[in-house]
Amino acid sequence: MKRIGLLTSGGDAPGMNAAIRSVVRTAIYYKMEAIGIFRGYDGLINEEMKILDHRSVSNIINRGGTILKTDRSDKFRTVEGRRRAYEAIKKNDIDGLVLIGGDGTYRGGYIFNKECGVPCIGVPGSIDNDINGTDYTIGSDTAVNTALEAIDKIRDTATSMERIFIVELMGRSSGYIAINAALSGGAEDVLIPERKYDMRQLCQDIVAGNLRGKVSWIVIVAEGVAKAGDIAKIITETTTLETRVVTLGHIQRGGSPTAKDRILATRLGSEAVNLLRKGMSAKAVGVIGSKLNIVRLGSAVTKRSTAVNSLYRLIKILT
Ligand code: F6P
């Protein structure tokens, strides 16, 4: 293995830059060349790439986003797109790929490896924390902390003006950010894709709380469940209480990564290079507990769902 290609693909996540730095510097340490591929799989198809030296990844460990840019490639979903990507790999003497991204990135790498045999290693980068084979994905801790910071601020105004706030957080099919931000932010309820919700019960809880003298509420809703505005409308119509809506949106994808995300990214980026050096292919790296964990890329492409029931119960006990 002389030359390793690396790319980031799918939604960006804080800590991707720390992973890039780790891949590049580990490769250089072992006398290999690292070639950065820009704009995900599209950049591979279009041969948008350049050699990254030690200095090119200086001062990025603390930066959100990805210096390699990222994209969700439609072309790479086609046989023709992947054929062109393979040609680019051969032409540029790339011996193996490190793919930093979420389940879509993994699926692309899995098919590509099956079709062309190019060694591929997946590094989990996604705020959603929904990838098999790892307890955490790079970016998920930062996203929860970003959401928490917002909830803390919302609480100040919610209690002062005695209002009900519905806060919409990211997660189309994953309630990881929502339930963890709800638990750490002391929210009264949370609506997530992994769990059926009951609007009647929620409204009854609010009315009962109101009769006890409880005057402000924070209800978190994951974007995949419903629009915060629709939930607020039902609450106001049913309880006659005043509601306000906050949709946090892409703020959750940005910002300087937490120490936890940087450490994870640094460990996993380096391990991905180690696996390629050892001749391994079609694997994904992760952590289980405090230990590194290696799984087949094929088994990591299916989404993992957050274990939510005990966390949800705790939120309701404490409300
Ligand atoms: O990367 C994951 C994610 O942030 C999800 O939580 C969210 O549903 C989605 O990406 C948003 O995608 P886009 O940036 O394309 O709007």
pLDDT tens per residue across span 64-86: 999 999 999 999 999 999 999 99
Task: Give the whole-angstrom CA distance, residue 154 versus residue 170.
Answer: 17
Q: What is the number of the ligand 1 atom nearest to the C-alpha of 252?
A: 4
Burial class (CB in 10 A: 0-12, 13-18, 19+), 160: exposed
pLDDT, one tens digit per residue, over 190-207 is 999 999 999 999 999 999
319 pLDDT band, cuts 50/70/90, is: confident
239 touches 211 (CB < 8 A) = no
Say what the pLDDT of residue 264 is. Answer: 98
Residue partners of 78: CB distance under 8 A and separation at least 6: none
Maximum C-alpha span of the chain: 72
Which residue matches tokens 């601020």?
153
CATH of domain 3-139+257-300: 3.40.50.450
Structural domain 140-254, CATH architecture: 3-Layer(aba) Sandwich (3.40)
Residue 301 pLDDT > 90: no
Q: Among 39-53, 168-182, 244-258, 297-311, which stretch is predicted with the lowest mean pLDDT?
A: 297-311
Choosing from 144, 173, 253, 306 the residue with most ligand 1 atoms within 8 A of its CB, the one to mutate for a pocket test is: 253
Domain ranges of the chain: 3-139+257-300, 140-254
Beta-bridge mates of residue 284: 122, 295
Task: Give the whole-angstrom CA distance, residue 120 versus residue 282.
Answer: 5
89 touches 3 (CB < 8 A) = no
Common-topology check for domains 3-139+257-300 and 140-254: yes
305 pLDDT band, cuts 50/70/90, is: confident
Task: Give the whole-angstrom CA distance, residue 304 versus residue 71.
Answer: 22
Say what the pLDDT of residue 285 is. Answer: 98
318 sits in the region (left: phi over 0; alpha: psi -120 to 50; else beta) called alpha
The stretch 108-112 carries a mean pLDDT of 98
The stretch 288-292 carries a mean pLDDT of 97
Choosing from 170, 174, 305 the residue with most ligand 1 atoms within 8 A of its CB, the one to mutate for a pocket test is: 170
Say what the pLDDT of residue 312 is. Answer: 95
Provide residues with CB under 6 Å of ligand 1: 11, 126-128, 170-172, 223, 253
Question: 72 C-alpha vs ligand 1 centroid, how far in Å?
Answer: 11
Q: In what order do the strands lie in the sheet with 217-222?
A: 189-191, 217-222, 164-169, 243-247
Q: Which pTM was predicted?
A: 0.97
DSSP 283: E
Q: What is the number of the ligand 1 atom nearest to the C-alpha of 174?
A: 6
Question: Which residue has the least CA distance to atom 11 on ligand 1?
Answer: 11
The stretch 210-227 carries a mean pLDDT of 95
- Rg over CA atoms, the chain: 22
Cα dihedral sign, 143-146-151-154: negative
Tokens at 132, concatenated: 């098999």
User: Looking at the annotation, which residues are catalytic?
Assistant: 128
Say what the pLDDT of residue 139 is. Answer: 98
- Residue 287 is inside which H or E element, if any? strand 283-288
The number of angstroms, rounded, from the C-alpha of 146 to the middle of its chain's C-alpha atoms is 13
Choosing from 128, 131, 174 the residue with most ligand 1 atoms within 8 A of its CB, the one to mutate for a pocket test is: 128
pLDDT, one tens digit per residue, over 244-287 is 999 999 999 999 999 999 999 999 999 999 999 999 999 999 99
Which residue matches tokens 């005695």?
162
Residue 303 pLDDT > 90: no
Q: What is the number of the ligand 1 atom nearest to the C-alpha of 126?
A: 1
The closest of 174, 200, 140, 128 to 308, measured between CA atoms, is 174
Residue 302 pLDDT > 90: no
